[in-house]
Amino acid sequence: MSKHIKTNLGTIWAITIITILSIIFTAFIAAMGFLPLIQRLPSDYIIFSQLFYQISLYSIARLMKKSFTFGELAVVSQILTLVAVEAWVITINKFKLLKITPLENHVPSSLITFQNALVLGMLLIGMISSPFLIHSRYLAQQRSWKSKRAHIRNNNNGKKRMALVIYLISVIIVGLVGLWVQSLLGRNPYLWIFAFVIETRVRIFLCIFWIVLIAISLVLFNQMGQTRKTYSLNSKRKYFHFLALVMFIPGYLYEPEFMHLAFSVAFAALIYLEYLRYFAVYPIGKQLHMFLSEFLDSRDSGPCILSHIYLLIGCAGCIWLDGSFILANLSGIFTLGLGDSMASIIGKRYGRNRWPKSCKTIEGSIAFFVFLFIGAFILVNISSSPNMWPGSSAQWFKYALAVLTTALLEAASFQNDNLILPLFMWSFLNIQM
């Protein structure tokens, strides 16, 4: 017991020291003029962000072992830190809880407030209901084939009680988060979302379009499971990449604000479904696990199945960041839905020449570049949006360079493509502008 206490104290001291050093290092670099954006931030923001980032790194690495590479862990922790800092700043400024220096012209929109509420709400549900989630998984792991009938019945009743508690906690937290949003915006958040969705016919059509596509996909995969014909894991996974291309590009071109909110809702829903799957929450946890297990590969070696969540983050992240041009914001959708998919399909079927120390093929990388660049060029030329992409030859050369560099990264990187490639390409394009 004393050894366990000493280990925990040592961990706390290590996190404290690392956090202090990171704050000092960040402040020093900013003071030297290398980080002009951070240099303009008040010290309160830097301290809070660094503290939350270090705690996120440790907590995720400890709770979700083998689910992340270090690069993926750093990106996920940065995303959580950005959301947490934004929510902290909004709350502190609104209720004047502390004396901190306000940011100039920092008035978050209703959409940003809702995005923060959705993500943080899902994290709160996981944290507060964690004892019941853990017990739900414990009950699901109990062996029933050796047990008596009465024990099996009690076990099933226990699963149902745990599920009821978890769902009740979820409803309460959703209500509390809704009250927080209402206090910030001065309006009922649920009525606002409903009014926002039905505001235009295009948004209603998009919702119906997405529901129909998802329903068709589920029916297809159900039929595939019942037939004797087998489909490769790569074909199953890349189907969802193409589905993202079909679903998200029309939505962003016609209703960009609606896509911001839709991505946030989908992200929160996937996090909640992962809770239900991993902790085997009655009645759908087992079915979710069986369905998602059909798409596992070597990168899903940890307790969490994250590839589908990474796919959504990759597509949504570039849109959430909201760069200067529409084509740059579509980097995630094009990179994963077109470039990565065609690289995988062409590389596995026709690839003969492999990159050094890699299982990826040169033919696959060529397909990545060709299909992504041609797809982007066609979209720009058929689109009537003036903010799609500058049409000069120099700008197209920069775009080709970004696509080529991303294709090479796809061939060389051991990180999860769904998370890393979109953010890299978006950053490359916006740095050049």
Q: Determine contact, residues 35/26, Cβ cutoff 8 Å.
A: yes
Q: In this structure, how many other beta carbons lie within 10 angstroms of the beta carbon of residue 61?
A: 15
| Residues 348, 360: Cα–Cα separation, whole Å | 9
Percentage of the chain beyond pLDDT 70 is 84
At 169, list the tokens: 């906690």
Phi-psi region of 66 (alpha: psi -120 to 50; beta: other; left: phi over 0): left
At 86, list the tokens: 């934004």
pLDDT tens sequence across 27-45: 777 667 666 666 666 677 7
Residue owning tokens 């050796």: 146
Task: Give the global pTM.
Answer: 0.84
Which residue in 26, 88, 86 sits closest to 54, CA to CA? 26
Cis peptide preceding 283, ω within 30 of 0: yes
pLDDT tens sequence across 139-160: 887 765 455 555 555 567 888 8
Q: Nearest-5° angle of CA 172, CA 316, CA 381?
A: 150
pLDDT tens sequence across 309-335: 888 999 998 998 888 889 999 999 999
Beta bridge partners of 22: none
pLDDT score at 59: 79
DSSP classification of residue 120 = H
pLDDT tens sequence across 203-215: 999 999 999 999 9
